[in-house]
A and B are shown apart, each in its own frame.
Chain A
Amino acid sequence: QKEVEQDPGPLSVPEGAIVSLNCTYSNSAFQYFMWYRQYSRKGPELLMYTYSSGNKEDGRFTAQVDKSSKYISLFIRDSQPSDSATYLCAMTLYGNNRLAFGKGNQVVVIP
């Protein structure tokens, strides 16, 4: 079993729709959870960061962590064509300097 599972998609949605992405993981010791956004032919950039369980909101983006279910989610409200990218989840342990990544989920927002 992979440490982090993420359905690669692709996911196509009309402009203005809500995008819902998720990852599951197997290591219950993970404490730090991240979402990265990667545009075509660019490096990943940090989008959202969450420690432990709970929700975090930043503008149109909401990250949720459910440690009891080992499940994290990213929601994008009022999606825009500029949100078209690949979204990667990542997580790590306390005291560990390496990230476990999901394979990434390609999102296309259609105008």
Chain B
Amino acid sequence: DAGITQSPRHKVTETGTPVTLRCHQTENHRYMYWYRQDPGHGLRLIHYSYGVKDTDKGEVSDGYSVSRSKTEDFLLTLESATSSQTSVYFCAISDHSYQGNTIYFGEGSWLTVV
């Protein structure tokens, strides 16, 4: 298994509260990604990072922010959680920019916003 640790793995939070999900990798890969997975929508990219302090938006970035202060850590923050952000969140890492065969996923973080 790729060295990816997501925390917390499960969280229930209230609407309007801030939430931070953490992704930690031990592979020293350059690229890190946050996806969400929902029934009927599949995997959708929220934000990604191509280096320390270098991040960019994905297709569903509204309501989310990210930070990467170290190669190994990529944080996803929901500034004010809403029920529509109830989902499974996957972190992924990659060491190549143009191939998909080196993208590895974490085990997921289940977030419920009530």
> How far apart are the CA atoms of A34 and B97 in the complex, in Å?
15
Contacts of A104 in B (CB 8 A): 42-43
Instruction: Indicate whether A45 sits within 8 Å of B100 (C-beta atoms), given known contacts A88-B43, A97-B94, A104-B42.
Output: no
A42, B98: Cβ atoms closer than 8 Å: no
Number of interface residues of B (CB under 8 A): 25
Complex contact B41–A97 (CB within 8 A): no
Interface residue? B74 (CB, 8 A): no
The closest CB in chain B to the CB of A103 belongs to B42
Least CB separation from B105: chain A residue: A43
Category for how many chain A residues contact B? 20 to 34
The answer to whether B107 touches A43, judged by C-beta atoms less than 8 angstroms apart, is yes
Cβ of A96 within 8 Å of any chain B Cβ, yes or no, is: yes
Cross-chain contact B105 with A99 (CB below 8 angstroms) = no
Q: Let me know if A75 is at the binding interface, CB within 8 A.
A: no
Within the complex, the shortest CB–CB distance from A67 to chain B, in Å, comes to 16
Q: Say whether A97 contacts B101, CB under 8 Å.
A: no
Tell me, yes or no, whether A10 is within 8 Å of chain B by CB: no
In the complex, whether A95 has a CB less than 8 A from a CB of chain B is yes
How far is it, in angstroms, between the C-alpha of A103 and the C-alpha of B106 when the chains are bound? 18
Q: How far is the CB of B14 from chain A (nearest CB, A)?
A: 24
Q: Are A45 and B105 in contact (CB under 8 A)?
A: yes
Q: Which residue of A lies closest to B43 (CB)?
A: A101
